[in-house]
């Protein structure tokens, strides 16, 4: 794939990831509530969801994605409900020394699935891959294995860098505050952010 196309895709994708949406809100909320290590599995879940949509777009599966619309609705609601559960956990948490680290009741696998479900039901992700991506990457001819590998590598690198940057900054803000009062504020802020992300996912069509 030519360098102009790859550069255009990189820029468009980076902008799409940087612009705050439910995914960013969920990562930030998770990092505020449990630190960087707690948020990283969610970043990986979001990445997995993005790669699924990349495959849909590149291999002409947009019609299949549309046909499976009811499945994605279920996934969207499931992800939103889990985000609300996390929000409640943060809101009701009693701050103490253990709150500086990741919450013990939040497994990495569940956090990963939460990020994946959030992405699969995220309208911003759907619009980018199934509507905007074809305007950047020519899909009127079969994609080569090398082209697919190049685009996949861009998605992985860009999302990990930006997602980890958001998580790292939020975790740093959490570590800056050590008092129980400050941690309670951070936990409740994380809860509000998580609940807002859930509401955004459900409200958007």
Q: What is the pLDDT of residues 155-198, one digit of tens each?
A: 999 999 999 999 998 888 776 655 566 666 666 776 776 677 66
Q: Which residue has the higher pLDDT, 51 or 202?
A: 51
Q: Please state, as a whole number, how many other Cβ atoms lie within 10 Å of the Cβ of residue 46.
A: 29
Range in 6-20, 42-56, 74-88 with the lowest mean pLDDT? 74-88
pLDDT computed for residue 48 by the predictor = 95
- pLDDT at residue 41 above 90? yes
Q: What is the Cα 45 distance to its own chain's centre? A: 7
**Terminal C-alpha separation, the chain:** 33
Residue range 74-89: mean pLDDT, rounded: 66
CB 17 within 8 A of CB 158: yes
CB 57 within 8 A of CB 129: yes
Looking at the chain, the whole-number percentage of residues with pLDDT higher than 70 is: 66
CB 7 within 8 A of CB 74: no
- pLDDT at residue 82 above 80? no
- pLDDT at residue 100 above 70? no
pLDDT in tens, 60-78: 655 555 555 565 566 566 6
> Where residue 153 falls among pLDDT bands split at 50, 70, 90?
very high
Give the separation between CA 200 and CA 149, rounded to whole angstroms. 32
């Amino acid at each position: 794939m030519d360098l102009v196309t790859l550069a255009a895709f990189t820029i468009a994708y980076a902008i799409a990831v940087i612009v705050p949406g439910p995914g960013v809100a969920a990562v930030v909320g998770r990092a505020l509530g449990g630190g960087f290590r707690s948020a990283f599995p969610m970043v990986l879940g979001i990445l997995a969801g993005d790669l699924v949509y990349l495959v849909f777009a590149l291999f002409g599966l947009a019609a299949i994605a549309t046909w499976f619309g009811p499945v994605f609705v279920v996934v969207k609601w499931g992800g939103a409900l889990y985000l609300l559960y996390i929000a409640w956990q943060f809101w009701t948490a009693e701050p103490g020394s253990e709150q500086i680290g990741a919450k013990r009741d939040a497994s990495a696998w569940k956090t990963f699935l939460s990020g994946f479900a959030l992405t699969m039901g995220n309208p911003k992700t759907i619009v980018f891959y199934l509507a905007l991506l074809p305007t950047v990457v020519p899909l009127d001819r079969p994609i080569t294995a090398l082209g697919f590998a190049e685009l996949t590598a861009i998605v992985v690198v860009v999302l990990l860098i930006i997602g980890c940057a958001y998580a790292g900054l939020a975790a740093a803000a959490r570590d800056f505050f050590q008092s129980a009062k400050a941690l309670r504020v951070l936990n409740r802020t994380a809860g509000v952010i998580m609940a807002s992300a859930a509401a955004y996912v459900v409200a958007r069509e």
